[in-house]
Chain A
């Protein structure tokens, strides 16, 4: 079980809890504004872009090569960027804070 906090572009903080699936699925399931997941979670559309809080980067790990490349579609990408369809929900990410970039 992990708690994940999303901060939307309106600075709304929403904390959700889950024990499986991807972070994108969790966000879509709860209608988090700015996380669309148009491709269904196969790293093809870059519509689930988040910035990981710097202190939590080690919890979620680094983007894969394909994910890093896809992130370049978004001008808003930086060193803290991840596509959250590629972040699996596990105990390790408990407490993570993600700012919606899209």
Chain B
């Protein structure tokens, strides 16, 4: 077969985005081969439970798989797991794997995601039992180290969602958990001061020690345990250290292939509304895709299942010459202790908010973020109704009657929308 005749769709990355895209490409009628490649050897799995239910579950057979192996076979999708793509050669439509194997493509979907950022903390490489939490393997290592640890003193560096979910899970398992956050508040980059305060209280009342404005400077290895030093001279003994301070985008493959990978400061593979890069045969989706969101009229990158799945479907349709356009309103969730947080929209840039507290349950409330009168986002705590209503309001760009919204003597309903 000559190079130009390749009919293969290669998907690089087999997490939520890549796997969704693979099945969607087949469903949209792709006749050629579909090959999904990932360096992770595990059958593609759900990541969100890793820091939540999966970590606390004692049933290691609890299924995390996105799809059973048989589904890939049935849809004629080839999984190349445990293999890494070294480079994309656009000049002859091929990719080269780390074992030297060359695969030719007609289309590529880049779904390479992101990797945990390891901050340059002195001694971090030499310290015992330091883990990130991104992969199945990470969790198995954490679980194993935790179960064999006598004192179970856990220090979590970073008070973002991964750090807090892991804190809640390890606390549930009987750990002595301390979270060290560099910023003055938790979840500083991703949510409002109101929600930060709520989560700080939630963790503190459940026995997690939260220390903010703590800049970790070095980790001193004491054999099987460590001492974590902060730049204010405080220090914390740790048998296990979890690092959750954000990610770096896996965009190098695209960058080396000469694809556009940033607009200004934010990194990511630049894509249009069809998730197509500046090479019409190459798409990018999920955590690594830097895209324009029409609802907020902003370029951004999102780290979420919703974004990965929806972009995977858009890329698949577009690649099969079907009309598709990515315009989803982002949504997220987090589970910590017995609290369910659901978020819809992006609150960035809000200048006022309404807190809606329910009378019947003090642990049930929602925060509605506005830019002047325009609703931007809703965070709902144990309150799916508020989340769903917020989603509906955002979809139709509804004007909100803030007085009705704030009035908890009236049941929350679509009456908050001004006609």
Contacts and interface: CB of A to CB of B under 8 A. Distances in A.
B is a partner of A:
yes
Interface of A: 21, 25, 28-31, 36, 38-40, 42-45, 65-67, 69-70, 72-73
Interface string B39-74: 000000010110011000000000110011011001
B388 A31 contact: no
B309 interface: yes
12 contacts: A28-B68, A29-B63, A31-B70, A36-B309, A38-B305, A40-B46, A40-B49, A42-B333, A65-B384, A67-B384, A69-B387, A70-B384
B385 interface: yes
Contacts of A65: 384
A11 B335 CA distance: 36
Given A25-B63, A43-B384, 4 more contacts: A21-B63, A28-B68, A69-B384, A69-B385
B169 interface: no
B72 to A, nearest CB: 10
Given A28-B67, A29-B68, A31-B71, A39 B388 contact: no
Closest 5 CB pairs of A and B: A69-B384, A40-B46, A69-B385, A44-B333, A66-B384
B388 A72 contact: yes
A31 B74 contact: yes
Interface in B55-95: 63-64, 67-68, 70-71, 74
Nearest to B27: A33
Interface of B is mostly: helix
Contact of B333 (A28, A36, A39, A69): A39
B384 A39 contact: no
B391 interface: yes
B292 interface: no
A41 B288 CA distance: 25
B134 interface: no
B27 to A, nearest CB: 9
B304 to A, nearest CB: 11
B340 interface: yes
B342 interface: yes
B167 to A, nearest CB: 18
B333 A73 contact: no
Contacts, number: 53
A15 to B, nearest CB: 17
Interface residues of B, number: 26
Contacts of B71: 31
Nearest to B59: A20
B48 A40 contact: yes
A42 B338 CA distance: 12
B162 to A, nearest CB: 16
Contacts of B340: 42, 44, 66
Interface string B363-391: 00000000000000000001011011001
Contacts of A39: 48, 305, 333
Contacts of A44: 333, 340, 342
Contacts of B64: 40
Contacts of B53: 42
Nearest to B64: A40
Contact of A69 (B46, B68, B70, B388): B388
Contacts of A28: 67-68
Interface string B141-182: 000000000000000000000000000000000000000000
Nearest to A64: B384
A21 B49 CA distance: 15
Nearest to A40: B46
A88 to B, nearest CB: 14
Contacts of A29: 63, 68
B342 to A, nearest CB: 7
Contacts of B385: 69, 72
A38 to B, nearest CB: 5
A67 B46 CA distance: 21
A38 B305 CA distance: 7
Interface string B107-132: 00000000000000000000000000
B71 to A, nearest CB: 5
A72 B265 CA distance: 39
Nearest to A46: B388
Contacts of B48: 39-40, 42
Contacts of A30: 68
B391 A38 contact: no
Interface string B334-361: 0100001010000000000000000000
Nearest to B63: A25
Contact of B67 (A31, A70, A72, A73): A31
B220 to A, nearest CB: 38
